[in-house]
Chain A
Amino acid sequence: MKRRTLLQGLIASAALFPLEGMTAKRQSSLRYLRPPGALAEDDFEARCIRCGQCGEVCPNRCIQYFGTENGLASKDTPFIIPREQACILCMKCGDVCPTDAIEKVERKMEPILEKVKMGRAVVDENLCLSFQGKTCGVCYRACPLQDVAIRTGLLEQPHVMSGCVGCGLCERSCIQLPQAIRIFPDYS
Chain B
Amino acid sequence: MNKPFFLWKHLNKLRWLTLITVFAMLITIPYLHVYQTYLAAHAYDLLQPDEKQIYDTMEMLTTPFVDDPEEDLDFIKGNTWSGTFGGFQLSDPLSIVGQISASLKVYWPFILTGLLPFILTAVFGRFFCGWICPATLLYELNTNFAAILRRVGLHVGNKRYDRRLKYVVLGLGVLVSVVTGTVVFATIYPPALVGREIYYAVALGGFGSGAVFFMLTFLLDLLIARRGFCRYICPGGALYSLIGRFRLFRIKRVVESCNDCAKCTSICEFGLDPLKDSFGQECNNCTACIAICPVDAMTFYVSLQDIGPQGPGHAGPKYKRQQQELADGQSDNE
Verify A50–B103 contact, CB threshold 8 A.
Answer: no
B107 contacts partner chain A, Cβ-Cβ < 8 Å = yes
Kindly provide the distance from the CB of B105 to the nearest chain A CB, expressed in whole angstroms. 8
Which chain A residues lie closer than 8 Å to B124 at the CB level? none
Q: List 11 A-B contacts (CB under 8 A).
A: A9-B165, A19-B179, A19-B180, A49-B186, A51-B83, A53-B78, A56-B203, A60-B40, A65-B200, A96-B77, A96-B78
B148 contacts partner chain A, Cβ-Cβ < 8 Å = no
Which chain A residues lie closer than 8 Å to B84 at the CB level? 53, 96, 98
Nearest 5 pairs of A and B residues by beta carbon? A9-B168, A51-B82, A46-B103, A50-B186, A59-B40
A98→B108 CA distance, assembly (Å): 10
Verify B200–A98 contact, CB threshold 8 A.
Answer: no
Main secondary structure of the interface of A (DSSP, over half): helix
Taking A6-B168, A9-B169, A10-B168 as contacts, is the C-beta distance between A73 and B182 under 8 angstroms?
yes
CB nearest to A7 among chain B residues = B168
A99 contacts partner chain B, Cβ-Cβ < 8 Å = yes
Verify A17–B162 contact, CB threshold 8 A.
Answer: no
Q: Which of B91-99, B245-253, B269-277 contacts A (4 or more CB under 8 A)?
A: B91-99
A80→B37 CA distance, assembly (Å): 16
Interface residues on B, range: 35 or more
Q: How many A-B residue contacts, CB cutoff 8 Å?
A: 160
A125→B74 CA distance, assembly (Å): 42
A96→B200 CA distance, assembly (Å): 18
Verify A47–B99 contact, CB threshold 8 A.
Answer: yes
Q: Which of B10-18, B131-139, B188-196 contacts A (4 or more CB under 8 A)?
A: B188-196
A183 contacts partner chain B, Cβ-Cβ < 8 Å = no
Residues of B within 8 A of A (CB): 29-30, 33, 36-37, 40, 70, 74, 77-79, 81-84, 89, 91, 95, 98-99, 102-105, 107, 109-110, 113, 161-162, 164-165, 168-169, 172-173, 176, 179-184, 186-188, 192, 195-196, 199-200, 203-204, 208-210, 232-233
| Residue from B107, B165, B200 within 8 A of A8 (CB atoms) | B165
CB nearest to B70 among chain A residues = A59
Which chain A residues lie closer than 8 Å to B36 at the CB level? 59
| Residue from A1, A76, A99 within 8 A of B99 (CB atoms) | A99
Residues of A within 8 A of B (CB): 1-2, 5-6, 8-10, 12-13, 16-17, 19, 22-23, 42-43, 45-53, 55-61, 64-65, 67-68, 72-76, 92, 96, 98-100
Taking A5-B164, A22-B176 as contacts, is the C-beta distance between A52 and B184 under 8 angstroms?
no
| Residue from B188, B195, B232 within 8 A of A52 (CB atoms) | B195
Taking A52-B78, A96-B84 as contacts, is the C-beta distance between A16 and B203 under 8 angstroms?
no
A59→B38 CA distance, assembly (Å): 8
Verify A76–B77 contact, CB threshold 8 A.
Answer: no
A166→B30 CA distance, assembly (Å): 27
